[in-house]
Amino acid sequence: MTTMPPAAVAADPVETVAGTRTPLPRRRRERSVAASIALHGTLVVATFIALFPILWVVLSSIKPASEIRRTEVELFSSPTLDNYRRLLTETDFPTWFANSVVVAAFTMVIGIAMSATAGYALSRFNFPGKRGLMWVFLLTQMFPVAILIVPIYTIMANLGLIDTKLSLIIAYCTVAVPFCAWMLRGYFDTIPRELDEAAALDGLGPFSTFWRIILPLARPGLAVTAFYTFLTAWGEVAYAIAFMQGSDHYTLGAGLQQFVPQFSPRWELLTAGAVLITVPAAIVFFFAQRHLVAGLTAGGTKG
């Protein structure tokens, strides 16, 4: 797509890897008290809105069911871990969780492997079919779930894969890989080509150059890819509901909705489940977030 010179990142990827420097275009100056209050005020409000839903769900999850079903607003009332105990012992939630872990982990590993190799080839080599492939990657972003899901469902059914984790892993890779390959290609572009040339002079083949020189330098990009693929698999619902049939095969996306049927939803189980689902995502996020700005923007916006 458009060419943006990610000056700061391109100049010195190694330094960004360490995350030690965040370039600021403007130097710090004296700011008037009023401006300062306005700035922090806006940020406090924004942060409150960003965090409040998460906080509210966490607080609700430690209320007894009877307290959730009260109309008065109370932040705390007789906190208990009973919802979690019931969720983990009386429902299929642990099975769904385990299923999701397997699916997300495999999607992440396979997705990174595929998108990193493809992204590297797109970044470094001029080969016939390259431009076409780039377009295809962009085009796949446009495919609505609605047009692919039925044919993929039929293919999976013919292969006998419906109701298996493998069907979901494959489907999620097709969703995540094009975007990740695109993003990583942009990231590889910011790593100087001279490194490849030096490696070739030292007798490294293209594959070992990729594996031993480029991949270690591309860690911020890879971290973002990992985050993205994991979250894609962890949070996907449409394929999960369509493909998985028995409750013991459900992933979290398909399972959680069972707690909130149209009538008499069980918010106490849902909120506890929501917290437990978000924790692994937040952990992955925590490791990737340092790299988010550098990795995503160097890649996602360069083409």
* Alpha carbon distance 231, 229 (integer Å): 5
- Return the structure tokens found at 58: 């966490």
| Closest distance of CB 237 from other proteins, Å | 5
How many residues form the binding site for other proteins (CB under 8 A)?
Answer: 113
* Alpha carbon distance 176, 75 (integer Å): 39
Binding flag, residue 70, other proteins (CB under 8 A): yes
* Alpha carbon distance 113, 105 (integer Å): 12
| Interface region with other proteins, contact rule CB under 8 A, candidates 78-86, 152-160, 194-202, 212-220 | 152-160
Residues written for the chain: 303
| Closest distance of CB 148 from other proteins, Å | 5
Binding flag, residue 158, other proteins (CB under 8 A): no
Binding flag, residue 6, other proteins (CB under 8 A): yes
Binding flag, residue 168, other proteins (CB under 8 A): no
By beta-carbon proximity to other proteins, the closer residue of 122 and 223 is: 122
Binding flag, residue 78, other proteins (CB under 8 A): no
Q: Considering only CA atoms, give the Rg of the chain.
A: 23
Binding flag, residue 102, other proteins (CB under 8 A): no
Q: With beta carbons less than 8 A apart as the criterion, state whether 117 and 214 touch.
A: no
Burial class (CB in 10 A: 0-12, 13-18, 19+), 67: middle
Give the orientation angle of helix 219-235 with respect to helix 165-189, to 10 degrees: 150
**Interface with other proteins (CB under 8 A), residue from 57, 88, 109, 204:** 57
**Interface with other proteins (CB under 8 A), residue from 60, 83, 91, 99:** 60
Binding flag, residue 5, other proteins (CB under 8 A): yes
Q: What is the DSSP letter of 264?
A: S
- Return the structure tokens found at 177: 């890989």
| Closest distance of CB 213 from other proteins, Å | 15
**Interface with other proteins (CB under 8 A), residue from 87, 103, 108, 122:** 122
